[in-house]
Amino acid sequence: MIELDNKEWERLFRQVFVVAVRMTRSKDPTQEVTQIDRAREATQRAFDRCLRVRPAHLDTVEALRMYLSWAVRSALSHANEEHALRRENEAAVVTELATVGSTAVASAETMTLEVAASERERQRAVRALKRLREELADDRIALGTVECIAAGKTEPADQAGLLKCSIEEVHAARKRRKRALKRILDADEADYDDEEYS
């Protein structure tokens, strides 16, 4: 497989991500965030697959881009099949519960509250990640581990290779990152409690 430097990988990731966004595009503007999340996940799966398999025939950037675009299409197809199967199973459960007469089906109000809670948690995660990046701006390795995780690289050895440092430095940076994230989440929780009770 062709060897690329970090900038070339980033450029390739952006190009493949654009392809994934086009594949997930819908006419419904309310689904934009979900579509971008699906596109990002499919792109990450495609890169993960490529780096795990390391196909030998990919000796040009164009061949690699075509392979990754195919892998994105495959990942999205599998995700769509899983989603359709899940919807089918959920519909069967609802039908069975309605037939049996159980009251286990959640009310519309309960489902709305669950969706709102889920959205609050997603927004909290986005805020926490932004604050974490800001707090770690002067810590190259700790911030680098955040970027590695975002790119699907979670193993310390992989992170050390990408960040050009030792595994021990990665472990120490992870500890700093976790402490910073705990402070951020604790502060966010306190802010949420203050808003709730004010």
pLDDT in tens, 178-191: 999 899 888 877 76
pLDDT confidence tier of residue 59, bands split at 50, 70 and 90? confident
**How many Cα atoms occupy the beta-carbon half-sphere of 11 within 13 Å?**
8
How do the domains of the chain map onto residue ranges?
1-105, 106-198
pLDDT digits (tens, 9 = 90+) for 120-176: 888 888 888 899 999 999 999 999 998 888 888 889 999 999 999 999 999 999 999
* Average pLDDT score, the chain: 80
pTM higher than 0.75, yes or no?
Answer: no
DSSP string, the chain: -----HHHHHHHHHHHHHHHHHHH--S-GGGHHHHHHHHHHHHHHHHHHHHHH--TT--SHHHHHHHHHHHHHHHHHHHHHHHHHHHHHHHHHHHHHHHHT-S-SPPHHHHHHHHHHHHHHHHHHHHHHHHHHHHTTT-HHHHHHHHHHHTT--SHHHHHHHHTS-HHHHHHHHHHHHHHHHHHHHHHHHHHHHHHH-
The predicted pLDDT at position 77 comes to 79
